[in-house]
Structure 1
Amino acid sequence: MKPRLVFVHGVGGLRNTAADLDEWMRALVMGAKAAGHSRRVSQLVYAGAVDVHFAYYGDLFTNGQAQGAAPEDGLSASAALIELLLEAVDDRLAETDDAHETRVLRRAKAQLAPEGEPQGAGDVVRRALNAANTLLALPGLSKIGGWVSAKVMLHQLGQVRRYLARKDADGSGLGLDWRIRARVVQELNPAGPTVVVAHSLGTVVAFEALHDYAGAVPLLVTLGSPIGMRTAVRPRMRPQPLQVPAAVGNWLNFWDRDDFVVGQPQLEKFVAANSTSVLPVSRRVDSDGVWVHPAAKYLATPGVAGPVIEALEAATAA
């Protein structure tokens, strides 16, 4: 049985999965060649030695809405989204030394958590929209997922909140989070090894899905993960306390200092080892460009692509 490479995407609108898969693979090939694996890439990817799948779940967030529309429950219910944005702003303020960025972040923080103002539902909407508009002034931030407006930005970041809310049941009573994880699990390969590469919200989804998976995952790669967000994400994940899924034989977590979405990046500090003593290993990468969160940015770096190709080669030889 061929080993399998499964990509798990993050937040965003409706996707052309074929185009996304092509973009991610081209980035992986570029990074692998830069890491000195040109021959391995040709054998593994171009010769078809590995099955490649793209786990898509973005349509489950639409509920029949047009791309970029506000979620059904409205922005007024988004106190958790305020929390997510505020935590991201605080973490970035602690890291940046850029004067313009600091001014933008401080203004956004004041809009998210103003002193002496009412905290009703309508106020939450106003604060979130005002802060999102302010944050879009950061260089490159609008490029994360086509964030052409504050509403689109909040809608897509709101997908993290909606997943972790464990609601939005379908006619069978299955929650949105369960249905999303099922999309990921169906792309895995229980008859052989699967290397999983997950991005953004997809890292949360993959982590939870793999806890219910009995197959072999020789390598889990997480890119730009929000798992380290100490209040908005981490305590809402399951199962608690956080532990490396038993199926995972190795976990590499990559983060870029300039990635606005990443919280506390050293996941090994608060995710316990599994029964085979596997812990996450967090590694910083430095990408080029003004916006570094997209998965292709990470995959094109040698430090990310190299281990993926090496894991696939080992799985093929096993």
Structure 2
Amino acid sequence: MAHPTGRGDPVGPRLVFVHGIGGPRDPERELDAWKAALAHGMRLSGHSASADRLLSDTSVECVFASYADLFTGRQKQGAEAPAALGDDEEGASVLSDLLIDWVEELSYEAEGPREQRLLEHARAEAEPGTQQQGSLQVVRRALNVTTTLLALRPWGRTAQWITPKVMVGHLSQVARYLARGEHDASGRTLDRRVRDRVLAAVSDGPSVVVAHSLGTVVALEALHEVTTRTPLFVTLGSPLPMRTVIWPRLAPQPPTVPAHVEKWLNFWDRDDILAVRPHLERDMRPNGSGVLPASLRIDSDGTWVHSAEKYLAQPAVAGRVAEELARTPHAAPEVVPGSTPSAPAGSAG
């Protein structure tokens, strides 16, 4: 379910966060962490007043759309992907395609003969060959490919953050979402249940939606069902441009900007191993208002830059969100006859 702050009486626009791949989450703790990172970036971009309002819990309603628990029925934190995929043939097929697409997209950014050799080796490991294509075989290939890729610059130092085993478990979440299976007792598929969490968070009012990683795929599909304004859609570290595995499986087809999205900013980091071939505007169809994504490169420090908090703390990201939150009209305060209108929470004066 959605997790609003529950504190204060917000009078500003709703800010919806949508997380990506990963293990079990504490939504309240994640909400606080994402807000703190975004506020830090706002201050660095010269929007200190917006940062104060964001953290005050009275001017901006913040909602964390959490769906990680939907993946934990078969995948516990740190579990190997065979347990996550089970006997799902479609999920195994998607993961197999994902491996090939991942390597091929990274090959466009190869620098030097060593990287090229490693990528060629990873490409050979990703190929199904003639071996039996059960989920266990696919996962073994995935572990081999991931081990090879994590030896590439700059990801060779990421072992302290993520291991090949954990990475494959995370990639399996993408495969399971795109497989469009795992029906519950009422017949809803896993991807349907995930999108419903996002739709509950967006609710019935204008929302600034900030999505990360797999969450960008989820949010894009969910926003096609939203009939209220989305003044700003921000995607961070998105795998959406992966043309072989994700692009043809997006719903609806062909991939198009949702009708009520008024602006879409797609941020990517050159050192983000999952943000490949990032220029979405080259392939995405505009909506009826002519809106297309605008892809913007950022550069973060550290060895694992795919983190949502790394992206949110970037002034280029946080500054755009702050500008949009300030631009979105605030609700007019209720005036009781005979009283003097009070200034909105977080305003000067």
Q: TM-score, normalised by structure 2?
A: 0.83
Show the 5 A alignment for 1:98-247: 101-113=115-127, 117-121=130-134, 123-138=137-152, 139-140=154-155, 147-148=162-163, 150-190=164-204, 192-247=205-260
CA contact (8 A) 1:194 1:216 kept: yes
AA aligned opposite 2:199: V
CA contact (8 A) 2:232 2:263 kept: yes
Q: Does residue 268 of structure 1 match 2:278?
A: no
AA aligned opposite 2:29: A
> Quick one: distance in 1 between partners of 2:160 and 2:215?
14
> Quick one: distance in 2 between partners of 1:227 and 1:92?
14
Correspondence for 2:64 among 21, 31, 54: 54
Correspondence for 2:266 among 247, 253, 271: 253
Deviations 1:245-282 (A, max 9, x none): 11211111111112111232111111111111111111
- Equivalent residue, structure 2, for 1:12: 22
Q: Secondary structure at the match of 2:63?
A: strand
Deviations 1:132-160 (A, max 9, x none): 23334345478599533x33221211111
AA aligned opposite 2:104: D
The CA deviation at 1:242 is 1.2
Deviations 1:149-196 (A, max 9, x none): x33221211111111111101000001111000000111141x32100
The CA deviation at 1:84 is 1.2
> Quick one: distance in 2 between partners of 1:141 and 1:15?
26
CA contact (8 A) 2:67 2:197 kept: yes
AA aligned opposite 2:25: R
> Quick one: distance in 1 between partners of 2:246 and 2:296?
20
CA contact (8 A) 1:75 1:125 kept: no
CA contact (8 A) 2:85 2:92 kept: no
Q: Secondary structure at the match of 1:186?
A: helix
- Equivalent residue, structure 1, for 2:6: none
The CA deviation at 1:198 is 0.2
| Structure 2 gap segments, 5+ residues each | 1-10, 332-349
- Equivalent residue, structure 1, for 2:93: 79
Correspondence for 2:36 among 26, 48, 56: 26
Q: Flag the structure with larger Rg.
A: 2
| Structure 1 gap segments, 5+ residues each | none
> Quick one: distance in 2 between partners of 1:11 and 1:151?
14
- Equivalent residue, structure 1, for 2:298: 285
AA aligned opposite 1:113: E
CA contact (8 A) 2:14 2:60 kept: yes
> Quick one: distance in 2 between partners of 1:30 and 1:216?
27
The CA deviation at 1:235 is 0.6
CA contact (8 A) 1:31 1:301 kept: yes
> Quick one: distance in 1 between partners of 2:269 and 2:71?
27
Deviations 1:102-130 (A, max 9, x none): 4443332221127x653533543432222
Identity of paired residues, percent? 50
Q: Does residue 88 of structure 1 match 2:102?
A: yes
CA contact (8 A) 2:85 2:172 kept: no
The CA deviation at 1:303 is 0.8
- Equivalent residue, structure 1, for 2:53: 43
Q: TM-score, normalised by structure 1?
A: 0.91
